[in-house]
Structure 1
Amino acid sequence: MLRVAFAGTPDFAVPALQALLDGPHDVVAVYTQPDRPAGRGRRLRPSPVKALALAHDLSVEQPQRLRTDEAVERLRTYAPDVLIVAAYGLILPTTILDVPRLGALNVHASLLPRWRGAAPIQRAIEAGDTESGVCLMEMAPGLDTGPVVAHAATPLSDTETGGSLHDRLADLGGALLAAKLDDWAAGRLPAVPQPEAGVTYAAKLTSDEAWIDWRASAEQLARRIRAFNPWPIARCGWAGDALRIRFARPTPAMTTAESVTPGTVVAAGDEGLDVMTGEGCLRLTEVQAPGGRAQPVADFLRGHAIHVGDTLT
């Protein structure tokens, strides 16, 4: 039986922690980000990982930072054999990584070395990748640069969203951890260094990226809209405010006139809003008006006026 310390914060990390709780090992401590204000009342809310840990009466640690002697000594008191990390959100210094007897394993949501960094799930969809997956990686001081000990791949469809891929990879990560942890701890899994060829970086998402530039191609915009659902949600200017776009797909343009400006509505009906782009036509099928709820375009048009010839900015 291993003494396991776990570090994770959001929903993505929950299946990995649950896999450990369902297994034979002893989870001696759970590290997670400090509670954050949330909701209309801005009350402090525990992370999903903290909620699961408390439900199982586990010891919870929520340091603001780990680059202190106090943080290192506190981890040492738990005498962990291994530290399992999944979307923790704090950089782990070498002094922390050196504490566990066997080292630290990270559950990472990509097929390394592709998409190192903060937003591998969304960047894979945005780039048009045909597959994604998860890796178990021995942690090193660099950004997701450690050797990989196991991985599992999954295909991506042309309807994949950031939300659907997040949930699938979270479950896949938990299953991979459950299947491979014992073999790794026993030295039966070789740690394979990542090749230099194929390295890409998944930059953190920002809300500013959500604004649509209609000069891009319909295919590029469709991928970005899917990648940014459920956050930060793609949007465009409409009636002096922002119209959020939750689903869209490329479609044959109803006009091929070169004079049609990108962002111009060329068709509006129950099937969607067709908008000219820099290359091709994009059909918006689910949108959300300011202060409203997400709804199919057919329902949206019953209460909002958007006409052929209008321009979305």
Structure 2
Amino acid sequence: MRIVFAGTPDFAAQHLQQLLDDSHQVVAVYTQPDRPAGRGKRPQPSAVKKLAIEHQLPVYQPESLKSGDAQSDLAALEPDVMVVVAYGLLLPQAVLDIPARGCLNVHGSLLPRWRGAAPIQRAIWAGDLESGVCIMQMEAGLDTGPVLHEQRCTISPDETSASLYHKLEDLGPKALTKVLADLDTYQNQAQRQSDAEATYAKKLTKQEGEIDWTQPAAFIERCVRAFNPWPMSWCQSDNLKAQQNTIKIHAAELVQGASNEKPGTIIRSTQEGIDVVTGDGVLRITSAQMPGKKAQPASTLVNGYSNVFGQGLELE
């Protein structure tokens, strides 16, 4: 089949690499326009574009696929199927109709749960025990199309978004290869999604990472894992004499016990961790990042920042 691939980040590049390793006929690659990045804020190519150039594949980077010119360019490629992985641009119905076999999407959740932009993070945030990838036949709706195939994996108690990302990064390309090897069968047996069971994985914001110590410890602990590596869970301290007093929490765990102290109060500081009162239970910070520093274990923080993490002090 003549395949057009559309994707942008490293997660997508792993799928393109699998197609190339399997000797599929990738006739062109679509990716988002180069975006400013790094200290110099110079335009940088996406991971998918870098891989495509390495393999001498034609690269298209339209700002939108809604224009007639962009759609004509795609039609001229005469694709049998378009594979879309974390592309980041809306595909209007006119585009979905161009490939002879339609457009396939690799989505990082067990649809219809967690449709939308941040399915990996939301699964951990909500306390799900399972995740996976779905190969979906795309429709105009947001992740609403029939599911051709799914691959499941467990979410471990210490799972972060980074570690779950790597699990799905391994599952997705294999699932895609399996579907493309017998596309007729999978399309004929595709399962419609239940809209009644759907949940939406809204995009993360930096502000969402701010810790509300009045929330239960179990929820805050999930947020710490879900928001690692971005936007990171964070809090502040009036005792930190810095222009930027944000403290990023890299790792935390639940501990037994309760306290009548105000949420945010540190009730214990030891080499094992910094115990903070929450709205329900106690959370132990085991690793955190001070402004301008790298992440440090609790033992270092207790010794080096006693004015911030001492017993009886408060985090905001």
The answer to whether the Cα contact below 8 Å between 2:8 and 2:46 also exists between their aligned partners in 1 is yes
Q: Quote the Cα distance in structure 2 between the aligned partners of 1:248 and 1:181.
A: 42
CA contact (8 A) 1:5 1:82 kept: yes
How many percent of aligned residue pairs carry the same amino acid?
A: 50
SS at match of 2:276: strand
Question: Which aligned pairs between 1:79-94 and structure 2 lie closer than 5 A?
Answer: 79-94=78-93
Looking at structure 2, the residues matched to 98 and 180 of structure 1 have their Cα atoms a distance apart, in angstroms, of 20
Q: How do residues 142-291 of structure 1 correspond to structure 2 at under 5 angstroms?
A: 142-185=141-184, 189-238=188-237, 239=239, 241-253=245-257, 256-258=258-260, 260-291=261-292
Q: CA RMSD in A?
A: 1.2
- What amino acid sits opposite 1:261 in the alignment? K
Query: Shift of residue 300 of structure 1?
Result: 2.3
Instruction: Give the secondary-structure state (helix, strand or coil) at the position aligned to 2:221.
Output: helix
Corresponding residue of 2:300 = 299
How far the C-alpha of 1:301 sits from its partner, in A, is 2.5
Q: CA deviation at 1:188?
A: 6.4
Partner of 1:69: 68
Query: 3-state DSSP class of the match of 1:285?
Result: strand
Paired AA for residue 300 in structure 1: L
CA pair 214-169 structure 1, distance change in 2 beyond 3 A: same
Contact 2:259 2:277 in 1 (8 A): no
Unaligned runs of at least 5 residues, structure 2: none
CA distance in 2, matches of 1:307, 1:24: 59
Task: Look up the match of 2:26.
Answer: 27
Which whole-Å CA distance do the structure 2 matches of 1:178 and 1:292 have between them? 43
Shift of 1:295: 1.5
Secondary structure at the aligned position of 2:162 is classed as helix
TM-score, scaled relative to structure 2: 0.95
* Cα deviation 1:121-167 (Å, max 9, x = unaligned): 00000000000000000000000000000000000111000111111
**Does the CA-based 8 Å contact 1:265-1:309 persist in structure 2?**
yes
Contact 1:235 1:245 in 2 (8 A): yes
State the one-letter code of the partner of 1:53.
Answer: A
CA distance in 1, matches of 2:292, 2:14: 33
Q: Which amino acid aligns with 1:307?
A: G
Q: 1:311 aligned to 2:314?
A: yes
User: 1:93-112 counterparts in 2 under 5 A?
Assistant: 93-112=92-111
Tell me which amino acid in the other structure corresponds to 1:64: E
Pair 275,102 (structure 1): closer, same or farther in 2 beyond 3 Å: same
Q: Is the 8 A contact 1:122 1:227 kept in 2?
A: yes
Query: What SS class does the counterpart of residue 264 from structure 2 fall into?
Result: coil
Q: Is the 8 A contact 2:205 2:231 kept in 1?
A: yes
Do the aligned residues in 2 keep the contact of 1:262 with 1:276 (CA within 8 Å)? yes
Q: Which amino acid is the alignment partner of residue 248 of structure 2? A: R
Gaps of 5+ in 1: none
Alignment partner of 1:197: what SS?
helix
The total of aligned residue pairs comes to: 309
Amino acid at match of 1:161: T
Give the Å deviation of 1:302. Answer: 2.7
Q: Please tell me the residue identity of whatever aligns with 2:80.
A: D
C-alpha distance 257-98 of structure 1, shift in aligned 2 (>3 A): closer
Q: CA deviation at 1:196?
A: 2.7
Q: 1:297 to 1:57 in 2, by over 3 A?
A: same
Partner of 1:10: 9
1:17-36 CA-partner distances (Å, limit 9, x unpaired):
11111113211111111111
